[in-house]
Amino acid sequence: MRVLVPLPVVLPLLAAALNVLLARWQPVQRTVSVLTLSAVLGTAVVLLREADGSGATVVQLGGWAAPAGISLVADRLSTLLLAVSAGVLLAVLLYAIGQGVTDGGRSQVAVFHPCYMVLAAGIAMAFLTGDLFNLFVAFEVMLVASYVLITLEGGAEQVRAGMTYVVTSLVASVLFVTAVGLVYAATGTVNMADAAVRLQDVPDGVRVALGLTLLVVFGIKAAIFPLFSWLPDSYPTAPSPVTAVFAGLLTKVGVYAVLRTQTLLFPDSPAIDRVLLVLAVLTMVVGILGALVQDELKRLLSFTIVSHIGYMLLGLGLASTAGLAGAVLYTVHHIVVQTTLFLVEGLVERRDGTASLRRSGGLQHVAPVLAVLYLLPALSLAGIPPLSGFVAKLGLLQAGLADGGALALTAVAAAVLTSLLTLYAMGKVWSEVFWGPVAEVVADADRTDDLDLGTARTPGLMLGAAVVAVVAGLAITVVAGPLYGLSARAAEDLVSPEGYVTAVLDGAP
């Protein structure tokens, strides 16, 4: 099994190199990408079964024993998120191929596939690594690919948004290097398992300061209030599949990093937990209020990403097994549902020719399938039973009520309020886009590029990928019981990290 652990990182990197060489043979490029991501998905599922059945699999890269070498750790949490991410990456890739944004268009250089593979490698490395500096490298690999993808079209609006996005991410990276330096100065190690042991001897004040520095770093990546304003500004300018994969995965990698570092390196820090709960309330409420006033579908959905990051923080801030289990399940649910909504948004934009709420309408008459595809994930996001959002929210709310503290109850109230406001935002989209008189289709402003807008002709692959994503969201409801069990076992690992530490430090090289 150990040989499988580096594969989710190595395979996409190899595929990226191959795709650069194959830039002129686009059908081959597509095949390479699809096969690679399928292999990553298969590997991730095998690793998940292994991690759940017989504990974490640890690989010491290059045969250097921890803490000198870099450890890759495939435990329940990392493999669960890896498997879900690989599935989402594959679905979005198929959608992007169907839409035609992958083929280079005017520039005739098919840069999409190599970048997409590098992105997949970065995401997998961030989930698997057990080393703080390697986590920084993983973030950089992922972000550099995302810089290219977000400025893919290279128009004035993309460059403006890309500038904001790149500069914000770079500031976070500088802070990350700073935090790694400070952790190294305090403990003399960057191996997370080793640092977890050594941080226990570090004075409380220093520990909390390190924890909060890392929280700021990952807070920028995860778009936590008040560090979120770059997200709704930059995401909507990219093509729909790119926005979909960013919305589903990039912020969740940040959330994963927060989950991992706060539970492993800084357990039993009530001060940080209180901060997390306050941030959770503010992120949820401010994010959804931002969504309500938007007139553009993509911007509205971008604000809901921010808002729903708050739910995951809520689970983490409760610092109980039930809270963390809720947070893990919510992350899985949100990756799938948010990605699906952006895929459907792409279909709506293709049909209507615009993402503006005011200029569209009556879509349920001309495209009833699209209406169903939107309605299911939208209701799930708002938490209507029996969809997956309801199950995940129920877990979090029960954990919050069980906690019983004033701050926890406030957070629960804010979560319920955010749920209602999400339903209102989703309803607003429904009434503007799908109900009402049929609006005139907005003609494609630029017919020379590879994005077709305002056409009734939808490629089967696009529609198929969106349907698969919707069905995957429904499947979470069906397997909610076993999935919650798995999340609870993953949360158990997080609450008592001794197993993780022993697995890494005592593992054979």
Residues at the site binding another protein, with contacts judged by CB under 8 A: 133, 136-137, 140, 144, 147-148, 151, 154-156, 159-164, 166-167, 170-171, 173-175, 177-178, 180-182, 184-185, 190, 233, 299
Angle between helices 480-495 and 460-478 (to 10 degrees): 70
Question: What is the chain's length?
Answer: 509
Q: Quote the CA–CA distance of 274 and 83 in Å, as a whole number.
A: 31
- In the bound state with another protein, the residue whose beta carbon lies nearer, of 39 and 65, is 65
Answer for the pair 493, 481: CB distance below 8 angstroms, yes or no. Answer: no
Decide whether 122 or 377 has the Cβ nearer to another protein. 122
Nearer to another protein, 165 or 500 (CB): 165
Which tokens in the block code for residue 449?
A: 């590029």
* Of residues 205 and 481, the one with the C-beta less far from another protein: 205
Q: Min. distance of Cβ 175 from another protein in angstroms?
A: 8
CB of 258 to another protein, least distance (A): 20
Q: How deeply is 342 buried, as exposed, middle or buried, from its count of CB atoms within 10 A (0-12, 13-18, 19+)?
A: buried
What the block records as the tokens of 403 is 């906690």
φ and ψ of 36, to 5 deg: -60, -50
| Interacting residues of 291 by C-beta distance below 8 A, sequence separation 6+ | 300, 301, 303, 304, 307, 421, 422, 425
3-state helix, strand, coil in the chain (%, to 5): 80, 5, 20
Q: In the bound complex, what is the minimum distance in angstroms from residue 323's beta carbon to another protein?
A: 33
**How far apart, in whole angstroms, are the C-alpha atoms of residue 313 and residue 284?**
9
Q: Which is nearer to another protein, 142 or 222 (CB)?
A: 142
Number of separate helices (H) and strands (E) present in the chain: 21, 2
C-beta closer to another protein: residue 171 or 282 = 171
Shortest CB 148 distance to another protein, Å: 8
- Residue 199 CB, shortest distance to another protein, in Å, is 15
CB of 408 vs another protein, minimal distance in Å: 33
The token pair at 428 is 């607003």
Residue nearer to another protein on the CB measure, 147 or 430:
147
By CB atoms closer than 10 A (0-12, 13-18, 19+), residue 265 is: buried
Nearer Cβ to another protein (177/443): 177
3-class secondary structure per residue, 116-178:
HHHHHHHHHHHHHECEHHHHHHHHHHHHHHHHHHHCCCCCHHHHHHHHHHHHHHHHHHHHHHH
By the 8 A CB rule, do 241 and 92 touch?
yes
Tell me whether residue 71 or residue 331 sits nearer to another protein (CB atom).
Answer: 71
Give the residue among 339, 426, 416, 341 at the shortest CA–CA distance from 379.
426
Tell me if residue 53 falls in helix, strand or coil. helix
Listed residue (438, 232, 469, 464) closest to 352, CA to CA: 438
Residue 159 Cβ vs another protein, minimum distance, rounded to whole Å: 5
Burial (CB count <10 Å: 0-12, 13-18, 19+), residue 167: exposed
For the bound state, the minimum distance from the C-beta of residue 134 to another protein, rounded and expressed in Å, comes to 10
Q: Rank residues 137 and 282 by Cβ distance to another protein and give the closer one.
A: 137
Encoding tokens for residue 371? 């209406």
CB of 209 to another protein, least distance (A): 14
Q: Min. distance of Cβ 230 from another protein in angstroms?
A: 9
Nearer to another protein, 25 or 64 (CB): 64
* Smallest gap from residue 151 Cβ to another protein (A): 7
